[in-house]
Amino acid sequence: MKCLLIASESAEVLFHWTDPEFHQTIQEQYGASQEEGQGLPAFEDSISTLFAPIIISCSTMVDRLGDNYTSFTTESNHIYVLHQIDECLFISVNGDGEEGEDDLRRKIYVMKKMLEVLFGMVTLSSTLLRKQLRPQDTEQRARLWKHLQSLLETYCHLQQNDQSFLVEAVERLIHPTLCEQYLLALIIMAQNMYPSNVELDDPSPEDAESTSGSGPESFYTPEPSPTDFIGSVRGSTPVFEFVDPDVQMAEDSLQTLEVPSPDPSNPRRVFLEVSLKEGLYPMMPHSMYCLPLWPGISLVLITKIPTSALAMSVYKYLEAFAKLEKRLSEGQEGSAATRGQPTIHDVRNKLDKFIKALGPRDIKSAQLQNVWTEFKNRAFVRGGPGFNKDLIPWCKNMKTQLCGIYRQSFLLDSGPADTQQRLSPSLQERAQSMLQEKLMDWKDFLLVKSKRNITMVSYPDFPGLIHFICVDRSTGQMIAPSLNVTERTTSELGKGPVAQFIKNKVWNLVSTTRRYLQKGYSTVTLRDGDFYFCYFLWFENETGFKLEAGDIPILPDVSAPIGMLAWDYYRKLLRYYSKSHQGEVVKCYELLTVHLGVMPTEIILQHCRQLASKLWEPSRNPLL
Amino acid sequence: SRRLNMHTQSTCSFFFLYDGSKVRGEGDPTREGICYFYPEETPLDRQELLCGQLAGVGRCVSELSVSPVRVLRLRRDKFAIRMKDDLFWALGTSVEVPTVSVCALLDQLINLFRFYNGSVRRSYQIHSRETLAARWAQYLSHLQSGSSELHHIFSCLRTIDSTNVDPLLLLKAALILQACQRCPLVLAGCVLFRGRVVSTQMSPELTMKAMVHESETYVKVGTTPITSHATPLKDTPPRKTRLSRTLSDVPSTESDPPDPGSPQPPQNLSFGPVPSQGAAESLSCPDQSPSSNGEHGAEGEESRYFSFQTAIEEDVHQSGDRGDTACAEASQSQDRKVSGESGGGGPPPGSSSGAEEAPLVPMTLYLHRVKSLVLVLLVEQHFLSDSASMEEVYHSSLASLNGLEAHLRTVSPAAPGAPGPYSFAHFDCVQSTLTANVSAAPGGAPERPFVRAVALLHSHFSDSASLQEAIIRSAGAAVYGTRSVAQETFFQQHGGSLRNSGIPNQQDSCFSLPSKARHRLLKHGVNLL
């Protein structure tokens, strides 16, 4: 029994997803509370009515106590996790014992991340996000919600079945120019476009060797200097400069079915973080093409779009107004409120030019112009109110207007102009066929690898070792033996239930060690039933020298879940740790192992030691 | 600034009982439903806000999930919840306290109330809110008083440090209890010294309840040690049969009204739930006082004993026959339980469908104090009217109690503070006792990492049935925890180098913790072999 609900403060449903059991429960309960003879109302109304008291109580608690609910647990172990982001309240429910509080919180954060990838800076304005999530047109709304629902389901499926989504790292991705956070998000989208059906499409190992069935996604990341890239797209020569021609994959996961795919030439708009010389720019618009190469193998192309300079400007202004608002609400006034980089006067000049360049071409920019004029009158005119608390609503208003411009530029279909930004069909075809040609000899190998990338058989020197996962957090790579758990596949773990049992142990271990890590424990060993689990997190410098274990921040229970997809915990951890190791490149590793409990601890630790030092040596690279 | 938690030193930051049946209509003010709210000085509008919101949201969630809410978390506070009919209890602590411990604390509190007062709803029909507020406050303070953070984590009994006491003294205490039991009206007992258990024949839950008044009096030295008691109940399942049988075996004493001439113990008015003039209370305080010390000692030490009973619970038919006004009234207000059976029939055997919870049986607690030592006996109600029995118990125990007290007094309390080369905590789940070498008083900085680790590991042990052992290491501490069905033990080695790279290494000192713990703890009587 599962549910995820996004609601506004006034208990308006902005999005809902329920599994069939929860759906039925809601309808039964709502039906019971209705007069007889009335037909069942729209599901949206039922769920909104039943959750309304909770949602309204949340607002009251925030307003009057400055605190808010974070979770409820019932005696039957139903769990409700609540998380408020600006004016949107996320509620995630589990009633079947399959997910804990951490899982539910993670689901909420991942949902939020997906919204950011889909809507970019629009998510920074609650007003606009509400509009975006709940289009007036009911058909459009149904379509959008269905899309989000299926993304969520795809994520849950991957999280439950794919080790790389379990630990939120990508397997064997050599030089990611996108951080794994976004890669994982894109994999969810790609997987959602070409959904998999494990039952149908899980081949026995023999089948897998003979092509058909499933395979990994391959990811090619564009040159980190996107301006060049765009230029070449516009020109006639297709210049694809792949950073690294290695084929990368997320293991185990991305089996696809031969289903009629969405028109591949129609790119999806995605908003990704871009790292430039001037700094990090989050939520920059890109186009995502998902081109099928063979059943089970797709090419995902990400292109920057020509007008993305606009997005960068909008982001800079948003940041400036947010900073100003923060200072004003902290009680700073006058020049104390306006200091900082860039200065407000800089912003003023640039924004004047920016608005001028936008031109009076439509309502949105006219509105921005009006609000900006009013802002200037209040802030800059001699004898006017100046920089004080009264300016806060105008900062908010400016942010909303800027987000509106952004929304109009990047999220609303603007007809033919939009098509111009696309890769031409011939170009796409060329990319596709070029890749097919290059990968022809690799195809079958990849398909097999996707199922059985590394197997435990490759580790005969480790008696008693059942499973391990090793993650290089500085690059977001992971290595782990495949875990095949379906009835038809026999792995070293055995068949069906046994493998499933061990899989569950691994999943539990990851969530347990995350809880300890959250509280500052970087080494954990557990004797649990017939098993012995180990978890280690450590730091090294570039030459492989082991750095001293330092303090790891202790986080509150309700902080964002540890991982990369929801919140780039490890990047922050590295930054935190590097502070005490200036001038050194710090790397961070994690190792999880599952051993038989009968093994002597010394042997187990020796195994861990060997795995930790050997796994990243080139000779152990299982792909080479 | 709007922090909820204003009582940081006590575990409990909030506790309230809210009766939703009092707030039905739109116009009913929320305050009508607030039966008790702690801290009592909380502004009424704040009380109303918390009660109204939490009870409201609790009901909504319970309806959606068709199951009562058990835990409710805010960003800064964590609430254990109990919902029963229209009653809503919430006990709030900081989020640091393990959930399992908060829930245990709330359950203890509610059970304690029921132990001394019977049905909560009925108590509120009979007594004023003020009267019952004093009792909630007393029970709450009892459960939190004088104990360390470790005690809160395990919700355990406070016992004397047995490693520091001659085992013969413990044997002596056990013998005193056995001697008292020769009187058939005495069901079980315990001996307490300075608010800590020396020996007990009762289950840990029951002992904890029986200690309420004693620990209160010990904390407030100088007052006379007595208060009210009655009704042990369902939480002593192993003894239940025996209690029932004893009850039915003993013919009901016809009309033995309390002697109005009995001297009242006015001293006890200074604390605790005073046996008020409430209808359900019959005082029977036979001041036979063969007092050893005579009057109040200079330090308020004395050895008198009092006992009186309070509330009577449903299911107990014979109460009416006793001619006890209080009981009669209580019986009237009960709904379906009263049958025409004559007295002495005993409580209906277990089948109390529809009763609030397990059926309650009226009992009396008999307290006999010798300076810092207290003998607590759980006795049949009519023990008080059976002067022969009382004499017998009194005389059989008096000399031994005096001797025991004198000996225990000479035992110097273990000097805490000197931090040893290691910290440990050993929790006996069967007896609910804790042995530890850390004081873990709130704010004890050096022990913080250990206590924090223990809290986490204890939560983990409670969540996972198959987990047997764990080693966890942060920058500040490496702690080993191990458990079996009977115990949980935690160990941290101090000193030595904690410096390490965190990379797996069999030479790493944290992996030698299990063998160190086995070795070191033997001398504390903890056998991990």
Separation CA A164–CA B508 (nearest Å): 30
In a domain, A195, yes or no: no
Over residues A562-578, the mean pLDDT reads: 89
In a domain, A571, yes or no: yes
Domain map (residue ranges) of chain B: 12-145, 167-215+360-410, 422-524
CA distance B477 to chain A (A): 9
Name the percent of chain A lying above pLDDT 90: 33
Separation CA A291–CA A268 (nearest Å): 12
Of A527, A589, A141, A431, the C-alpha closest to B472 is A527
Helix, strand, coil distribution of chain A in percent, nearest 5: 45, 20, 35
Interface of A with B in 169-228 (CB under 8 A): none
Separation CA A464–CA A608 (nearest Å): 12
Test B53 with A60 for CB contact under 8 angstroms.
yes
Question: Which ipTM did the prediction report?
Answer: 0.82
* Residue that terminates a domain, selected from A159, A185, A208: A159
Give chain B positions within 8 Å (CB) of A473: none
pLDDT beyond 80 at A455: no
The type of residue at B469 is E
Over residues B203-230, the mean pLDDT reads: 58
What pLDDT sits at residue A302? 83
CATH 3.30.450 correct for B167-215+360-410: yes
Q: Does A334 touch chain B (CB under 8 A)?
A: no
pLDDT beyond 50 at B279: no
Position of tokens 């305050």? B31
Q: Does B523 touch chain A (CB under 8 A)?
A: no
Q: Does B295 touch chain A (CB under 8 A)?
A: no
Choose from B94, B95, B97, B474 for mutation: most chain A CBs within 10 A. Answer: B474
- Of A99-113, A248-262, A358-372, A554-568, the poorest mean pLDDT is in A248-262
pLDDT beyond 60 at B291: no
Burial class of residue A537 in the structure, from the number of CB atoms within 10 Å of its CB (0-12 exposed, 13-18 middle, 19+ buried): buried
Q: Does B497 touch chain A (CB under 8 A)?
A: no
Which of A68, A76, A608 comes nearest B504 by C-beta? Answer: A608
In this structure, the number of other CB atoms found within 10 A of the CB of residue A245 comes to 9
CA distance B177 to chain A (A): 39
Test A605 with B505 for CB contact under 8 angstroms.
yes
In a domain, A481, yes or no: yes
Over residues A432-455, the mean pLDDT reads: 76
CATH 3.30.450 correct for B422-524: yes
* Residue that terminates a domain, selected from A359, A389, A411: A411
Position of tokens 């395990």? B154
Which of B58, B469, B503 comes nearest A536 by C-beta? Answer: B503
Q: Does A362 touch chain B (CB under 8 A)?
A: no
Q: Does A580 touch chain B (CB under 8 A)?
A: no
- B226-263 pLDDT, tens per residue? 233 333 333 333 333 233 222 223 333 333 333 333 33
What pLDDT sits at residue A485? 59
Identify the band that residue A359 occupies on the pLDDT scale cut at 50, 70 and 90: confident
CA distance A62 to chain B (A): 10
Q: What is the mean pLDDT of chain B?
A: 72
pLDDT beyond 80 at B166: yes
Give chain A positions within 8 Å (CB) of B464: 528
pLDDT beyond 50 at A56: yes
What pLDDT sits at residue B159? 86
Test A526 with B73 for CB contact under 8 angstroms.
no
- Of A160-169, A298-307, A330-339, A370-379, the poorest mean pLDDT is in A330-339
pLDDT, greater one: B207 or B335: B207
What pLDDT sits at residue B90? 97
pLDDT, greater one: A497 or B459: B459
What pLDDT sits at residue A417? 53
In a domain, A57, yes or no: yes
Choose from B66, B70, B469, B472 for mutation: most chain A CBs within 10 A. Answer: B472
In this structure, the number of other CB atoms found within 10 A of the CB of residue B69 comes to 27
pLDDT beyond 50 at B30: yes
Taking CA atoms, B165 is separated from A261, A427, B214, B406, in Å, by: 80, 89, 21, 13
What pLDDT sits at residue B415? 53
Over residues B304-333, the mean pLDDT reads: 33
Interface of A with B in 491-530 (CB under 8 A): 512, 515-516, 519-529
Test B75 with A602 for CB contact under 8 angstroms.
no
Structural domain of A562:
455-617
What pLDDT sits at residue A545? 82
Give chain A positions within 8 Å (CB) of B468: 527-529
Strands of B478-483's sheet in order across: A170-171, A477-479, A465-472, A586-596, A531-541, A521-528, B467-474, B478-483, B487-493, B422-428, B433-436
CA distance A293 to chain B (A): 42
Separation CA B112–CA B135 (nearest Å): 10
What pLDDT sits at residue A492? 54
Q: Let me know whether A556 and A493 are in one domain.
A: yes
**Which residues face A17 on adjacent strands?**
A4
CB contact at 8 A, B38 and B137: yes
- Of A53-57, A88-92, A290-294, B448-452, the poorest mean pLDDT is in A290-294
| Token pair in block for residue A9 | 């403060």
pLDDT beyond 60 at B72: yes
Q: Let me know whether A392 and A477 are in one domain.
A: no
| Token pair in block for residue B147 | 């104990």
What pLDDT sits at residue B1? 33
pLDDT, greater one: A483 or A324: A324
Counted domains in chain A: 3
Highest mean pLDDT among A179-183, A425-429, B273-277: A425-429
Separation CA B148–CA B434 (nearest Å): 11
CA distance B419 to chain A (A): 23
Interface of B with A in 83-142 (CB under 8 A): 95
Name the percent of chain A lying above pLDDT 70: 78
Taking CA atoms, A177 is separated from A306, A475, B383, in Å, by: 19, 10, 84
pLDDT beyond 60 at A37: no
Test B503 with A525 for CB contact under 8 angstroms.
no
pLDDT beyond 50 at A209: no
Q: Does B502 touch chain A (CB under 8 A)?
A: yes
Q: Does A575 touch chain B (CB under 8 A)?
A: no
Choose from B49, B462, B499, B501 for mutation: most chain A CBs within 10 A. Answer: B501
| A-B contacts (CB, under 8 Å) | 177
Give chain A positions within 8 Å (CB) of B65: 74, 76, 78, 95
What pLDDT sits at residue A377? 86
Q: Does A96 touch chain B (CB under 8 A)?
A: no
Separation CA A352–CA A375 (nearest Å): 12
Q: Let me know whether A406 and A463 are in one domain.
A: no
Q: Is A285 helix (H, G, I), strand (E, B) or coil?
A: strand
Separation CA A313–CA B461 (nearest Å): 53
What pLDDT sits at residue B146? 61
CA distance A149 to chain B (A): 22
Return left, alpha or beta for B101; rule: phi > 0 is left, psi -120 to 50 is alpha, else beta: alpha
Over residues B42-54, the mean pLDDT reads: 94
Give chain A positions within 8 Å (CB) of B76: 67
Separation CA A515–CA B479 (nearest Å): 16
Give chain B positions within 8 Å (CB) of A70: 73-75
CA atoms within 13 A on the CB side of A373: 7
CA distance B464 to chain A (A): 9
- A482-530 pLDDT, tens per residue? 876 555 555 555 566 778 888 899 999 999 999 999 999 999 999 999 9
* Residue that terminates a domain, selected from A352, A376, A411: A411
Which of A68, A523, A608 comes nearest B510 by C-beta? Answer: A523
Pairing type for strands B478-483 and B487-493 reads antiparallel
Q: Does A547 touch chain B (CB under 8 A)?
A: yes
Q: Let me know whether A486 and A574 are in one domain.
A: yes
Give chain A positions within 8 Å (CB) of B70: 73-75
Q: Does B518 touch chain A (CB under 8 A)?
A: no
Test B475 with A80 for CB contact under 8 angstroms.
no
CATH code, domain with A116: 3.30.450
In a domain, A398, yes or no: yes
Q: What is the mean pLDDT of chain A?
A: 78
Q: Does B415 touch chain A (CB under 8 A)?
A: no
Over residues B385-390, the mean pLDDT reads: 86
In a domain, A427, yes or no: no
pLDDT beyond 80 at B210: yes
Test B65 with A519 for CB contact under 8 angstroms.
no
What pLDDT sits at residue A106? 94
pLDDT beyond 80 at A95: yes
- B462-509 pLDDT, tens per residue? 999 999 999 999 887 899 999 999 999 999 988 766 567 788 888 888
Separation CA A451–CA A208 (nearest Å): 8
- Of A168-182, A352-366, A409-423, the poorest mean pLDDT is in A168-182
Test A74 with B61 for CB contact under 8 angstroms.
yes
CA distance A50 to chain B (A): 7
Choose from B61, B77, B82 for mutation: most chain A CBs within 10 A. Answer: B61
Interface of A with B in 554-573 (CB under 8 A): 556-558
Question: Which top CATH class is B12-145?
Answer: alpha beta
Identify the band that residue A240 occupies on the pLDDT scale cut at 50, 70 and 90: very low
Separation CA B83–CA B66 (nearest Å): 12
Give chain B positions within 8 Å (CB) of A521: 453, 456, 472-474
Q: Does B332 touch chain A (CB under 8 A)?
A: no
Test A74 with B53 for CB contact under 8 angstroms.
no
What pLDDT sits at residue B505? 85
Q: Let me know whether A388 and A468 are in one domain.
A: no
Q: Let me know whether A52 and A125 are in one domain.
A: yes
Q: Let me know whether A557 and A613 are in one domain.
A: yes
Q: Does B70 touch chain A (CB under 8 A)?
A: yes
Identify the band that residue B442 occupies on the pLDDT scale cut at 50, 70 and 90: low
CB contact at 8 A, B130 and B167: no
